[in-house]
Structure 1
Amino acid sequence: MTRFRSTAALTLAAAAVFAALPTHAQSTDAEVMKIDKPQQKITLKHGEIKNLDMPPMTMVFRVQDAGMLDAVKVGDKVKFDADKVGGQYTVLKLAPTK
């Protein structure tokens, strides 16, 4: 019986950890409107961001890694993943589309 209780406790603990993780970001299509390398920000005209429950619009995002900004230029069509990190909308992945 003790083994069952410890297994159940571990299962509940694992479920609590996964529930606390941020929602999985889903790739969204966008167009790069502006790049601000010193501030590590990018302005994207994007489609609906489902995981953030956000309609299509143009807005400024922080980028998680400044190196992402070197891979794109204004006018590029891109796919990106974003989530709210530390209270700020943040691009987690960014890639030009062909």
Structure 2
Amino acid sequence: MTGNFNRFDIQSFWNNNPFEFAYKNSNGMSSGILAVWDTTWFSLTNTTEGDGFLALYGNCRHVDSICLIVVVYAPQDYRDKMNLWNNLTKLIDTHNNLFSSC
């Protein structure tokens, strides 16, 4: 799931902090979705990709809680946008945990 990125590229703007990343390849005109996190704060368990989003499921270490973090790249078309939010609602309902979106 590294796409066009590698650890060296990301390290160049992440400094020397410990990190991991996930990448969803582009869909249409978008450039893809990149999620980068500090491994002292978040431990990844699983990822889910969908049209317009990349979801990270894991442990938020400082609050010792399972969480779902979703990075969203929303389409402009109304129908596509409604489909995206319906899919996100299903994803959130399935995990029924702490949720953060950005």
TM-score band w.r.t. shorter chain:
under 0.3
| Higher RCO, 1 vs 2 (CA within 8 Å, ≥6 residues apart) | 1
TM-score, length-normalised on structure 1?
0.23
TM-score, length-normalised on structure 2?
0.23
